[in-house]
Amino acid sequence: MGVQRWAMGRSPWVLHFNTGSCNGCDIEVVATLTPRYDIERFGIFLKGSPRHADVLMVTGPITRQVKDRLIRVYEQMAEPKFVVAVGSCCISGGVFSNCGKGACYNVYAGLDSLLPVDAYVPGCPPKPEAIIDGITKLVKKIKEEK
Amino acid sequence: MDVISSTFQLFIFPGFLFFILLSFLFEWVDRKLYAAMQRRIGPLYTGPLGLLQPIADFIKLIKKEDLTPKYSDKKIFNSVPLLMCALMLTVMLILPVAGESGVISFTGDVIFAIAAMTLFCILIFLAGFSSMSPYPLLGAERAVLLLLGFEIPLMLSIAGCCIASGSIEVSAIVSWQASHGWNIFGPQLLGFAIFLVAIQAELERIPFDIPDAEQEIVAGWMTEYSGRKLALIRMARNLELVFMSALAATLYLGGPMGLAPHWAEGIAFPVYFLLKTVAILLILTIIRGIFARVRIDQMVAFAWRYLIPLSFLQVALTLIWRLI
C-alpha cells in the first residue's frame, strides 16, 4: 500500500470539466500549466480522456442540463478517483444560488449534492496558486488516508 | 557458465531490465528538456530532480482499476498493450550496446527492425479499432495515414546505410563504420536528416502527433485505455523512443564503437552508446519543442512531395558514392 500511495500522490492526472462556467475559472485552471506556475513540477498532467485521469476538476455551476454528462464522465474514470470543486459556482451555486424564491430552478446547490467531493477551492475565480494549493491538499489527503 | 551469461545478457544487461530503466530515464530527459524549452521546470519533487516521475506514473497506472469498454473487441483490446511491449522488448535485443553485435544478431536483422516498426503501427491501428469508440477510431485512421507517409522514407534512408556498408546486418554496419568512419560523414548526412524526421513521425511526436492530438481527438487511439493497459502502452511507447534513437545512433553515429583502450572496452562502449543515444534524443526533443502540429494534408504533402523524392535522391547518391 505504501508504494501505491506514494505513486498516487506523486502523479495525479487531472481532467478538467467545465459545467457551464463563465470561463473565469477555466482560464485560471489553464494558467496553472504556464511557465509561471508550472503544475508539472508536482507530476500533474492535464489529460483529455477521463479514462486516463485520477482527479476530476469541475468548474462552473452544475446545471440540470449538464448533470447527466458530469456523472457519466465521473463513472468513466478508473478507481481510485477524486473530485475537486473549483470556484464558488461549483461549490455552492455561487451567484446562481437562490435566484428566484428558494432553490434555483435550473442550477444545483453545489457539486457535493451529486458527487463525493474531496477538495474545495473557493474564489471567483480562484487564483492559480489557490488551485495548486487545493491539489496539494488533495495529495496530502491521498497520502494520509486512502 | 554460458547459460548464466546469456541469461544475464537477456534479462539484465543489455537486456530487458536495462532497456526498461533506460525508457524511464528517456521519458524524464524528454520531459525535463521539453519543459526547459518552454521556460518551465518540469517534474521536480518526485525523487532527485524528479528523476522518479516516470516510475511513479507507471506504478500509479499499474495499481489503478482496469476498465474494458462494453462494446470493445475485448480479446484484441486486452492483448494489444502486451503485444506492444513484447514486440518492442524483442526488437531491442538486436541493438548493439556493449560490442559490435547485440544479444541476438543474424543476417537481415535490419529488416527485422523495419518489420517491427511497421508492426507497431499495425498494433496501434488494432488498439484504436478494437476500442469501438469514435475518437480511437479516428486516431487509428490517422496513425495508418502517418504510416503510409513516413514508412517509405524511413526504409529508404535505412537502405542507404545498408548499401553503403554492403550488408543488412546491424553488426556488419557497425563494424564497417568503425573502419570507414561514421555514416553521418558522407552521403548519409541527408539520410540521417530524413531518418530523424521519419522517426519523429513514427513516434507520433509533436510536429506529427496527429494520431493523438489532444486538442482535436482527446487522446487519439489511447483514449479508452486505462489502468495497467495504459501503463504498458506508455512503456511500449517509451521503449519505442529508446529503440528509434538507439537505431539512429547505431546506423549513423557508429553505434557503441569509439576510441577506448582494449581493457576498458566493457565500460567505454555502453557509455558511448548512452551518450550517442541521448544526443539523438535531445535532437528529437528540440524538434518537439520548436514546432507546432502540422495539419493532416500538410503532413501527407510533406511526406510525399519532399521526403520521398529526397530519400530516393539519397539512395542514388549513395550508389554513385559507392561506385566511385
Q: Which of the residues B226, B229, B234, B237 would you substitute to probe the A interface, choosing the one with the greatest number of A C-beta atoms within 10 Å? A: B226
Query: CA-to-CA distance for B232 and B226, rounded, in angstroms?
Result: 10
Alpha helices in A18-127 (DSSP H): 24-31, 64-76, 88-92
Look at residue A11 in the predicted model and tell me its pLDDT: 86
Q: Would you call B42 and A11 a contact, using CB atoms and an 8 Å cutoff?
A: no
% of chain A at pLDDT higher than 90:
12
Let me know if residue A145 belongs to a domain.
no
Query: Given CB atoms, is B134 within the 8 Å cutoff of chain A?
Result: no
Q: Would you call B59 and A4 a contact, using CB atoms and an 8 Å cutoff?
A: yes
Residues in chain B with CB shorter than 8 Å from the CB of A132 are none
Let me know if residue A146 belongs to a domain.
no
Let me know if residue A54 belongs to a domain.
yes
Look at residue B282 in the predicted model and tell me its pLDDT: 92
| Number of CB atoms found within 10 A of residue A96's CB | 20
Q: Which of A89-93, A141-145, B63-67, B297-301 is predicted with the least confidence, judged by mean pLDDT?
A: A141-145
Distance from CA of A68 to the nearest CA of B (A): 19
Let me know if residue A139 belongs to a domain.
no
Look at residue A100 in the predicted model and tell me its pLDDT: 58
Distance from CA of B305 to the nearest CA of A (A): 33
Mean pLDDT of B87-92: 90
Let me know the angle formed at the C-alpha of B120 by B91 and B202, rounded to the nearest 5 degrees.
100
Q: Would you call A7 and B218 a contact, using CB atoms and an 8 Å cutoff?
A: no
Helices B170-180, B134-165: axis angle to 10 degrees equals 50
Assess contact for B303 and B150: CB atoms under 8 A. yes
Q: Would you call A78 and B227 a contact, using CB atoms and an 8 Å cutoff?
A: yes
pLDDT at A24 over 60: yes
Look at residue B323 in the predicted model and tell me its pLDDT: 83
Assess contact for A28 and A126: CB atoms under 8 A. yes
Look at residue B207 in the predicted model and tell me its pLDDT: 82
* Chain B CA closest to residue A54: B64
What pTM was computed for the model? Answer: 0.89
| Number of CB atoms found within 10 A of residue B74's CB | 12
Query: Given CB atoms, is A38 within the 8 Å cutoff of chain B?
Result: yes
Q: Which of the residues A33, A36, A41 would you substitute to probe the B interface, choosing the one with the greatest number of B C-beta atoms within 10 Å? A: A41
Mean pLDDT of A16-24: 88
Look at residue A101 in the predicted model and tell me its pLDDT: 58
Query: CA-to-CA distance for A67 and A70, rounded, in angstroms?
Result: 5
Nearest Cβ partner of A41 from B38, B41, B56?
Answer: B41
Mean pLDDT of B72-90: 89
Let me know if residue A138 belongs to a domain.
no
Q: Would you call A41 and B42 a contact, using CB atoms and an 8 Å cutoff?
A: yes
Query: Given CB atoms, is B132 within the 8 Å cutoff of chain A?
Result: no
Residues in chain B with CB shorter than 8 Å from the CB of A10 are 45-46, 52-53, 56, 60
> Is the CA virtual torsion B279, B281, B284, B290 positive or negative?
negative
Count of domains forming chain A: 1
Q: What is the pLDDT of residues B311-322, one digit of tens each?
A: 999 889 888 888
Mean pLDDT of B6-20: 81
Q: What is the pLDDT of residues A78-106, one digit of tens each?
A: 888 889 999 888 888 778 777 655 567 77
Let me know if residue A76 belongs to a domain.
yes
pLDDT at A115 over 80: yes
Q: Which domain holds residue A17?
A: 2-133
Q: End-to-end distance of chain A based on CA atoms, in angstroms?
A: 9
Residue A146 pLDDT grade (very low, low, confident, very high; cuts 50, 70, 90): low
Residues in chain B with CB shorter than 8 Å from the CB of A48 are 214, 218-219, 223
Look at residue B286 in the predicted model and tell me its pLDDT: 92
Q: What is the pLDDT of residues B196-224, one digit of tens each?
A: 999 888 888 888 887 777 777 888 888 88
Query: CA-to-CA distance for A119 and B9, rounded, in angstroms?
Result: 49
Query: CA-to-CA distance for A71 and B168, rounded, in angstroms?
Result: 56
Query: CA-to-CA distance for A55 and A46, rounded, in angstroms?
Result: 10
Q: Would you call A43 and B50 a contact, using CB atoms and an 8 Å cutoff?
A: yes
pLDDT at B9 over 80: no
Let me know if residue A58 belongs to a domain.
yes
Nearest Cβ partner of A49 from B44, B56, B223?
Answer: B223
Check residue A44 and give left, alpha or beta (phi > 0: left; psi -120 to 50: alpha).
beta
* Chain B CA closest to residue A53: B226
Query: Given CB atoms, is B227 within the 8 Å cutoff of chain A?
Result: yes
* CATH label of the domain that carries residue A17: 3.40.50.12280
